[in-house]
Structures are given as C-alpha cells and as structure tokens.
A and B are shown apart, each in its own frame.
Chain A
C-alpha cells in the first residue's frame, strides 16, 4: 500500500511487516489516521500516555480481540499509562438489583478488559481517572511534550494549562500511538494549529462560574482555538491550585459543550504569557461575554427530566474528577452549611468523584475525611457519565455542577451555590 506520509526507513520496515503483522497493523492505523488529517510525518511521543477507554462493554468485542493480539505479540506501550475512570463502585454509589443487572450487562467484560489493560502497560490499580495530570496521580506532561491523548477534558488541560501538545484523538488510536511511540504531526502539534481564531472578551462584573464560561465559549467557537482576555482580572497571573481548578473545569465544559482542545488565557496560560496577542490569527472573530450573556447561557440549558418538578434524588460533583484542593474546599463548604442550618446530614444523596490516588491522599487528612463522610457525602472514583449512561439511571432526577455531565446525560446543571441549597 502506498502512503502519502513521509516515513522513516524503520517505519517503512514496520509497515512492510518485517517486525510482525500486529505491529504493522498498529502503525498502519496511526499512519492512515494521520493522513486523513493531512499529517506529513510522524513524531515521537515524548510525554505520558493516557487512554480514554476504561470500560468493558461487551459490544466492543473487536477492541478485546485487538488487545489479545497485542498481548500475544508482547506489544506494550512505551510508557506505563493511566486510563479514564472505572464505571462501577457499589460500595459508594449504591445500585438496586435491577440497576445491578443493567450494569452487569453493560460492563460485563470489565474484569477481563482491566486484565488486558494491565498486560499492555497500565500503570497500577489506582490509575483510573480522567485527571491523570494531577500531582497525586503523577502522569503529568511537561510543557512542549508531544502526546497522543483522547480524553477531551485532559486534552484541553494538557494543551492549555500545561502547554503540552496533543490533538483531540479518538479512543484506541491513542493506545496504538502509545504502542508505536509515535503520533501524526498535525493540528495542535504544529505552531500554526495553536493560534487562536477567536478573541473572547470577558466583560462581566464578576468571575463567572467556570462551567458556564467554558460552556459559553465552547458553544460559540466549537473546535476553534479561543484567546480569552479579561479573565486575568479575576484570576490574576499565577497558576495557583485554585486557578488550575478553575481552568480544569472551564476547559472540560468548553470541550464538551463545544469541541475545544486548546485555549489561551491572557497573562495566565504559558503560551499566552510568552506570545500574547501574537497568538491571534489575522482575521480573528470576537465574542463578548458580559453578565447578560452568562445569564442567557444558563437559561438556554434544556431540562431533560421526565417530571420537571421532581425532587433531586442524587447529586454528582466532580466531572471531571475533583482535585485534592477541590475536595478540601467542598468539605469546608458542606461542613459550614451543615453547621449554619443545624442539620446533621444531607437530604440529597451527594457523591463526590475523584481519582483513587487523590482519594487516598485526602483520607490521610483524617479530620477532614471524617468531617465529609459523617455529613453523609460519599466519595467515589467512578465516572458519573458511565453511571448515567443507561435507561434506568437516566430517569433519575440527578443534579450536578458539571456542564460536561449535563451535556452527555439527563442531569440538571446548578452552580455550586445552588447545589449547596438543594442538597440540604
């Protein structure tokens, strides 16, 4: 087969099958994928590997077959990898008998799939999170690293906040790239692909909720790169833990409500600090966000509940997974509110989601951990999206502060303050 891409002698050898049929198929998939997007060459992956497909849904049989083939050929990713969250945690996210039957059908191959993941390079049993870049998890790229990631919230964080370079790839392509150690050079891997088509002028009188600001930006620019001006008025120019949390949630909302894979924040994110408005393309568009625009965006969210007046039965906080800093902040907010209201427990079953490593670290602070758990809050490592993605759970009146969860499920979005009002 003729390839349009410029290939090295070693790559040609692999594509000729001289290093085995399976490695040939892995590289061929990556090359064809790259050619579709106009890539002229492959480049070495220089940073960590992270996979999006973490769930053993039986319909993904060809994926399990491919994994078996990789394993039988002894093919592993060049670096140990992390993967998105597990779908089930019955200890902390209860399910009735019917729901358990549904989960058993949906994720019936979970055990086998996790065993396959271990054999191709999974880091460890705790490596299931969408926030692999957090310090407690430790799968952290450096600025300028070349990656091949697919988890949209991680892609936008790595590109924007860290300054690494990854395209918004598809599942499995990122695994095969991790195996061959190479990824096609196009899009966000090039300087030109990182320039902004949109200037976002933030003119609000207050710091907008990050999930709403990200949603507004995503819905306007879709897959284009925005350059956000005016946010540094509120966030300053230091990437503190609070600021990184804000950018994590804003990015995830922009990536799910639109398809943003990279944003720049004036005077704050690394490339915006270095190159300033030179990052803007010549004929950029402008989108002004003021107080009324934020209000309009919130009002535009459809309510997907069957009974519009239903009382919330479940609340998910942490999509993407919460950082340690956010876990501490939520513990503080919930405890204060309980004290203020004279309640002992929450009225709504409230579940905070975070990476297993983050939860372990949080548990070391036994005072805070006890404070949170005694309020009735559950702490889990699951992906709430995977919990909601079935006909039974999607009928529940679920509330969330996540715009990503709202977009991909029937959950109703509320701001953090509103959530605090509803769960007591």
Chain B
C-alpha cells in the first residue's frame, strides 16, 4: 500500500519531529530496528515495565481469540486488547517465561503486531521476539531505543505507522 505523506512544515521538538499530514499533525521518532517491518496500527501504551507472563498467560491458557491484558498490577493495560496492537513500552519485566509466552500467543495468531520500546530492549523481550521470528515464523515488528520523549508523547488509541528503517510516525 502506498501512503503519501504531505509534509507542510517540519519542526524539531522533544526529540521527535513534527510533520503535518493532511489536516492534522503527526510526530516522527527514529529508533533502532530489532526486527524490521512496515505496518500501521493502533497504539496501546504502558509507561511502566510490562510483565509479559502476567499480561498474556490467561488468554494463552484459554486459547482465546484475542489477548486481553490480565496483569492487575498494570493499570494502563489491564483489560485492554493487545492482539494486533502496537505495544509502546519502556521494557518488559518479570518471569523468564515471558519471552516464551510471546511465542505461544504468536502461534495462536493473537500476538501484538509490533512492540516499540523507549529503552534498549531487555533480554526477555529480545529472546521472545527473536524466538517467535525464527521458530514460529511469525514476526512481531520490533523497534527499540525510541527515547523517553516517544513514550511521553504517544497515547493509547493513537494511530502509529512503522517503517522498516525504524521510523515511527505517531498521528
């Protein structure tokens, strides 16, 4: 799908770059590509570390059609649908099983479509997305090091476009 970006003016602010797309403003961030891909989707945002096991385990156990976040300790994500969403987070936390649970939900076709990390990706998440890619043959597009400003700017429900060079456009 071709997507034409009409850039009317550009200004630098808080680490990202503002552009105008149609009648509204968007902001561009650039991160490091862990697993590349192009996608457009809806953001779900957590400002605290995401416990993958606690968030995904219940839906994976039930083999649900969608992952609904079950981590009661994460008030931002609890009860929200994570399937096919673009997760925006600082890092993942918790059990070393977390990465493997990502593989499980990917195999059930209910994984998030992308994970955008403001910090350097942690070892649990890195293993999770890489093992999913190599062994389950499903890609969770992953970009890290997007910076604190990214996480401050992005809001749940916003549309995000990711490009394979690590560009992230928040509309």
| Chain A residues engaging chain B, CB cutoff 8 angstroms | 25, 28-29, 32-33, 36-37, 52-53, 57-63, 65-66, 105, 150-152, 167-173, 408
Contacts of B50 in A (CB 8 A): none
Contacts of B100 in A (CB 8 A): 53, 60, 62-63, 171-172
Contact between chains at A62 and B96 (CB < 8 Å)? no
Contacts of B96 in A (CB 8 A): 52-53, 150-152, 170-171
Q: Which 6 A-B pairs have the closest CB atoms?
A: A170-B127, A62-B103, A171-B96, A59-B60, A36-B126, A32-B130
Shortest CB-to-CB span from A57 to chain B, Å, is 7
- For this complex, 13 residue pairs linking A to B, each with C-beta atoms less than 8 Å apart, are A28-B134, A36-B121, A36-B126, A58-B61, A59-B57, A61-B104, A62-B106, A105-B61, A167-B123, A169-B127, A170-B96, A171-B127, A172-B99
Shortest CB-to-CB span from B79 to chain A, Å, is 17
- Given the interface contacts A36-B34, A60-B97, A169-B123, does A29 sit within 8 Å of B104 by beta carbon? no
Given contacts A60-B104, A171-B127, A172-B99, 18 further A-B contacts (CB under 8 A): A28-B134, A29-B134, A33-B126, A33-B127, A52-B96, A60-B97, A60-B100, A60-B101, A61-B107, A62-B104, A152-B96, A169-B123, A170-B96, A170-B123, A170-B124, A170-B127, A171-B97, A173-B131
Contacts of B166 in A (CB 8 A): none
Digit string of B111-129 for contact with A (CB within 8 Å is 1, else 0)? 0000000000101101110
The answer, yes or no, to whether B10 is at the interface (CB within 8 Å) is: no
The answer, yes or no, to whether B39 is at the interface (CB within 8 Å) is: no
The answer, yes or no, to whether B135 is at the interface (CB within 8 Å) is: yes
Contact between chains at A170 and B136 (CB < 8 Å)? no
Contacts of B101 in A (CB 8 A): 59-60
Contact between chains at B107 and A36 (CB < 8 Å)? no
Cα A58 to Cα B63 in complex, Å, equals 11
Q: Is the interface of B mostly helix, strand, loop or mixed?
A: helix
For B99, give its contact among A168, A171, A408 (CB under 8 Å).
Answer: A171
* Interface range for B: 20 to 34
Contact between chains at B124 and A29 (CB < 8 Å)? no
Closest chain B residue to A84 by CB distance? B96
Q: Which of B57-85 contact A (CB under 8 A)?
A: 57, 60-61
Contacts of B103 in A (CB 8 A): 60, 62-63
For B134, give its contact among A32, A36, A57, A168 (CB under 8 Å).
Answer: A32
Contacts of A66 in B (CB 8 A): 131, 135
Contacts of A60 in B (CB 8 A): 97, 100-101, 103-104
Cα A167 to Cα B127 in complex, Å, equals 13
Cα A61 to Cα B135 in complex, Å, equals 12
Closest chain B residue to A168 by CB distance? B123
Closest chain B residue to A173 by CB distance? B127
Cα A28 to Cα B130 in complex, Å, equals 9
Contacts of A152 in B (CB 8 A): 96
For B135, give its contact among A33, A62, A171 (CB under 8 Å).
Answer: A62
Cα A53 to Cα B60 in complex, Å, equals 18
